[in-house]
């Protein structure tokens, strides 16, 4: 296995975590039988059993519906990665090992997720090693910086970002070719895309100068 780039990760396979007790999806559920008991009340009991059977089938269908994939919240194997750069400090420090859950299906974008992504090319370059960034806006939202207090806004509302300890300079004007300034012009995030930034804004190359990332580029979501 080749050594990853400085800002990438070293993959180490981690076995999928098993649940102490099987979930409803794993265990399945028993559906009452259809045989009616004998005796003078057989017809009444048979009606009750049919109603109970319909209810149990409905509950089973609802349980199975909640077991689908398409995100990285409760499904998908986990892997460990070693952060190679400083762009996500102080949340993730250089050299820190993190656990991420692999995306199965299509990533369901959620603001605040710390995601592992592959470079989509273009202004992101042709990096081979994955990148670790935070989702700050999702498809359909408009993100900009800054408001009068220097905060990032999404759809005109300022974001509370306690995870940002080292912000970029407010003195520099926006520069679409350079991620140094904190300020950037409003960006309408396309559908099925995310706008990502590093938590260390002063030391991160991200969507401020490289643009939004397709959700198809998201490989995993950090869980630990």
| Segment 81-107 mean pLDDT | 95
- The mean predicted confidence, pLDDT, of the chain is 77
Contact partners, residue 173, CB within 8 Å, separation at least 6: 181, 183
Which residues face 158 on adjacent strands?
153
The secondary structure of the chain, three-state, reads CCCCCCCCCCCEECCCCCCCCCCHHHHCCCCCCCCCCCCCCHHHHHHHHHHHHHHHHHHHHHHHHCCCCCCCCCCCCEEEEECCCCCCCCCCCCCCEEEEEECCCCCCCCCCCEEEECCCCHHHCCCCCCEEEEEEEECCCEEEECCCCCCEEECCEECCCCCCCCCCECCCCCCCCCCCECCEEEEECCCCEEEEECCCHHHCCCHHHHCCEEHHHEEEEECC
Q: Could you read off the pLDDT of 120-166 as tens digits, one per residue?
A: 999 999 988 999 999 999 999 999 999 999 999 999 999 999 999 88
| Segment 191-217 mean pLDDT | 96
More confident residue, 191 or 22: 191
Q: Which of 31-40, 178-187, 199-208 has the lowest mean pLDDT?
A: 31-40
Residue 12's closest CA among 100, 119, 107? 100
| Segment 47-70 mean pLDDT | 45
Tokens describing residue 35: 């045989």
User: Is the bond preceding 146 in cis, omega lying within 30 degrees of 0?
Assistant: yes
Residue 86's closest CA among 181, 224, 206, 172? 206
The residue count of the chain comes to: 224
Q: Could you read off the pLDDT of 3-36 as tens digits, one per residue?
A: 333 345 444 443 433 333 333 333 333 333 444 4
Model confidence at 101, pLDDT cuts 50, 70, 90, reads very high
pLDDT score at 49: 60
- Distance, CA of 203 to chain centre: 22
More confident residue, 98 or 61: 98
Q: Is the pLDDT of residue 115 over 60?
A: yes
Q: Is the pTM of this model over 0.85?
A: no
Q: Which of 6-10, 39-43, 49-53, 119-123 has the lowest mean pLDDT?
A: 6-10
Tokens describing residue 99: 């656990």
Percent of the chain having pLDDT more than 70? 66
């Amino acid at each position: 296995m080749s050594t990853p780039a400085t800002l990438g990760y070293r993959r180490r396979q981690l076995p999928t975590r098993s649940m102490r007790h099987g979930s409803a999806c794993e265990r399945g559920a028993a559906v009452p039988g259809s045989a009616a008991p004998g005796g003078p009340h057989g017809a009444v009991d048979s009606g009750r059993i049919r109603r109970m059977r319909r209810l149990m089938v409905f509950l089973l269908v609802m349980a199975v519906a909640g077991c689908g994939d398409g995100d990285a919240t409760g499904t998908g194997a986990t892997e460990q990665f070693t952060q190679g750069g400083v762009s996500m400090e102080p949340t993730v420090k250089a050299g820190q090992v993190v656990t991420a859950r692999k995306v199965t299906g299509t990533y369901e974008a959620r603001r605040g997720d710390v995601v592992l992504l592959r470079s989509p090319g273009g202004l992101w370059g042709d990096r081979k090693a994955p990148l670790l960034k935070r989702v700050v806006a999702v498809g359909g939202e408009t993100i900009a910086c800054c408001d009068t207090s220097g905060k990032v806004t999404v759809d005109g509302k300022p974001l509370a970002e306690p995870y940002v300890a080292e912000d970029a300079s407010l003195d520099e004007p926006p520069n679409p070719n350079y991620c140094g300034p904190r300020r950037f012009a409003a960006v309408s995030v396309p559908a099925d895309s995310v706008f990502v930034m590093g938590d260390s804004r002063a030391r991160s190359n991200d969507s401020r100068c490289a643009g939004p990332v397709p959700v198809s580029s998201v490989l995993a979501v950090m869980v630990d």
